Amino acid sequence: MTDTAGSGGSVKLKLDGVAKNFGGVRAVSGVSAEVKEGEIFSIIGPNGAGKTTILNMTSGFYHPDEGSINFEGTDISQTLPSKIASLGISRTFQNIALFRGLTVLENLMLGRHVLMKTGVLAAFAYWGPAQREEVEHRERVEEIIDFLKLTDLRKTPAGALAYGLQKRVELGRALASEPRLLLLDEPMAGMNQEEKEDMVRYVLDVNQEWGTTIALIEHDMGVVMDISDHVMVMDMGERISFGTPDEVRGDPRVIEAYLGTTDHKEVA
């Protein structure tokens, strides 16, 4: 099986032999993969497989010790997170990272900072171009708030919201930067079934209606198999399988990694 994600779409993100060490621990070992334009690409694997390290390297929080990461043909392997964000990559975190004392609206407005052109001093003065730009950004943020059905909560401090709503706000903040590649680190973790269904719908809408390419980590196999175009499976820092959900589901290496045996026919 090849690294390519199928016949359609240009390559949005390419990992080529990426490796990362932490002291004497090899967290990721020579992983290669391609994420195609407009797809939902999922990374799965047992705890400690190296999934989040892949996202952290893609978003610039870590730099690979070996190999390269290319986004839309540009090598971003050693690029700072702020620059990567300005190139069009945004992410959410496994642990919610909102500004709890700020309102929903304010948190989403912060997500627009990479798109602001007037500068900090002009923004504080709030006149001329800065005022016009703030109005434009506010309009876009209000659209995202409506899209995520957070309208009645726009002035509520993020820390006062229920967990599932906080995850939705974090998605909104990531969307506020208008990413061309959206990285989601366990977007449904800790949610009840109703909250998961809502989040799945938003993820699908962002992908299908907005055309945003999405790479996500998720432990809910039912969700992964239902929404993904392609799946990469990792174990002990290595890529052990890659393909469509149907191909991955029946791979004996995947079954063994999750269940410790190849006696089962497929991953649930």
- Segments in 177-259 forming alpha helices (H): 193-208, 221-227, 245-249, 252-259
Instruction: Output the pLDDT for position 247.
Output: 94
**pTM for this predicted structure:** 0.87
Instruction: Output the pLDDT for position 28.
Output: 98
Residue 156 gets which letter from DSSP? S
The DSSP annotation for 22-72 comes to ETTEEEEEEEEEEEETT-EEEEE-STTSSHHHHHHHHTTSS--SEEEEEET
| CA proximity to 15, closest of 81, 66, 86, 87 | 66
The alpha-carbon radius of gyration of the chain (Å, integer) is 19
CB under 8 Å, gap of 24 or more: what pairs does 104-107 form? 104/145, 104/150, 104/153, 104/154, 104/155, 104/156, 104/158, 104/161, 104/169, 104/172, 105/141, 105/145, 105/154, 105/155, 107/158, 107/169, 107/172, 107/173
| CA proximity to 245, closest of 212, 208, 220, 211 | 220
d(CA 237, CA 21): 10
Classified as helix, coil or strand, 3 is: coil
Domains of the chain, start order: 1-88+179-268 (3.40.50.300), 99-176 (no CATH)
Tens digits of pLDDT across the chain (268 residues)? 334 344 457 999 999 999 999 999 999 999 999 999 999 999 999 889 999 999 999 999 999 999 999 999 999 999 999 999 999 999 998 778 788 899 999 999 888 876 665 554 445 455 455 566 677 778 889 999 999 999 999 999 999 999 999 999 999 999 999 999 999 999 999 899 999 999 999 999 999 999 999 999 998 888 999 999 999 999 999 999 999 999 998 899 988 887 665 444 445 4
Instruction: Output the pLDDT for position 4.
Output: 39
Give the residues across from 261 on adjacent strands.
Answer: none
> Is 214:36 a contact under the CB 8 Å cutoff?
no
